[in-house]
Amino acid sequence: ADKRWVTLESGRFYAENKGTPGEHNIAEMGGRARRHAELRTASQAVVDAFEDAVVERCRRNPRPRTAAVRQVFTGFDDSQMFL
């Protein structure tokens, strides 16, 4: 029953926290997962397993890529400033 809870609840927990600022911060998500599990169960083994499951989901999902910004050319000579 505990293994099933860890599997199902870790997926639900990760989905609920998807899109938050700390989504790809493994330490942040691990801490959130630990607090979430401690409120719901008294077993330290289940809390550890839940945190590990959430952290593993964070590692498996890639970080979104940001678009590259084209560099602006600013290497004009000073004499060209008033043309």
Q: pLDDT at residue 36 above 90? A: yes
Q: How far apart are CA 56 and CA 46, in angstroms?
A: 15
Q: How far apart are CA 26 and CA 20, in angstroms?
A: 13
Mean pLDDT (whole number) for 24-36:
90
Q: Judge whether 24 and 58 are in contact, CB under 8 Å.
A: yes
Higher-confidence position of 63 and 33 = 33
| pLDDT grade for 83, boundaries at 50, 70 and 90 | low
Mean pLDDT (whole number) for 40-68:
87
Q: Which of 35-39, 49-53, 72-76, 79-83 has the lowest mean pLDDT?
A: 79-83
- pTM tops 0.85: no
